[in-house]
Amino acid sequence: MVPRGAKRLIFVLPIVAVFLYLPLVLSSAHLGGITAFFIAWLANFKLLLFAFGCGPLCSDPSISLPLFITVSCLPIKIQKTLENGQKKGLMNYAIKALLLAGFVKAYDYSDRMHPKMILLLYAFHVYFLLELILALSAVMARTVLGLELEPQFNEPFLSTSLQDFWGNRWNLMVSGILRPTVYKPILYFFTRVGGRKWAPLPAVFGTFVVSGFMHELQFFYLGQGRVKPNWEITWFFVLHGLCLTAEIALKKAVTGKFRLPSLISRPLTVVFVMVTGCWLFFPHFSRYGVDVRAFEEYAALGAYMKNVSHSIVSVM
């Protein structure tokens, strides 16, 4: 009803403000984290794109209001089926669910573990938890709306480079929304200024800087007592942005003349991501108290399920 541009932006901004405030009123680490990710970040970026006639909310002009709200608030693609190769088998998710349960149980012995081992547990915990949450959401979306959720991960441990890791395998919803909101505008600007060949380099770096700021915001929402950021999370993404920019520049320079075999490039990529993550990113799960809140919620859920099972047994 409102033409795209400044007028539509004026109508959208109050919703953006509400979405930014919403995670602040949630005390649950899991609900607050999901709301911060889906609503305060992804939904707001979709709405800002919509204000200027771009993005997934403008892909179908005939979209109904309920579907518009759903696509805004959830990582949903307007399509009936997934592309070939994107579906994963039930066994894949069952194995990851068992591994996640094992990692949660392993926290009971955290006092006997090296601190770096605990950080590795955090890394796998985040990966498996997010993928399973998205898988369950996909089932509901497919059942109720006939839609599919955007894929979240594509086996990141198989990455052969940083470009492969960030662009094709890890947190694909974020890369999919950062591309039109940050990468393409910067790419367009530097293409006009200095030509197309090297314009992707500042566009990639700028995208990682914005991603760093948004991850800082996510941890601020999750932190106990709203801990003041020390910007190490942003520096993690700045570092990866610089390294990925250097990787792209090197690839342009050699133009396919040299390529590391995957037997070498895969472990190098995974080790680099894990080492830098354990240095700058994962320690903040403890610094912000996210781990403590999550463990308390697991304990409460376990006690609730135990009480329910006892009640069922007593009735029988």
Taking the model in full, what pTM does it have?
A: 0.87
Closest CA to 185 of 59, 71, 48: 48
**Which residues 6+ apart lie within 8 Å of 50 measured at CB?**
8, 12, 57, 58, 72
Measured distance CA(27)–CA(140) in Å, rounded: 25
| pLDDT in single tens digits along all 316 residues of the chain | 888 999 999 999 999 999 999 999 988 888 998 899 999 999 999 999 999 999 888 877 777 888 888 888 877 766 544 444 455 667 888 888 898 888 888 888 888 888 888 888 888 888 888 888 877 777 777 777 776 666 678 889 999 999 999 999 988 888 889 999 999 999 999 999 888 888 999 999 999 999 999 999 999 998 877 788 889 999 999 999 999 999 999 888 877 667 788 899 999 999 999 999 999 999 998 888 888 888 888 888 888 888 887 778 777 6
pLDDT of residue 150: 62
CB of 135 closer than 8 Å to CB of 119: no
Burial 115-133 (b: 16+ CB within 10 A, else e): eeebbbbbbbbbbbbbbeb
Measured distance CA(62)–CA(51) in Å, rounded: 16
pLDDT of residue 82: 46
User: Half-sphere exposure of 285 toward its Cβ, with a 13 Å CA cutoff?
Assistant: 23
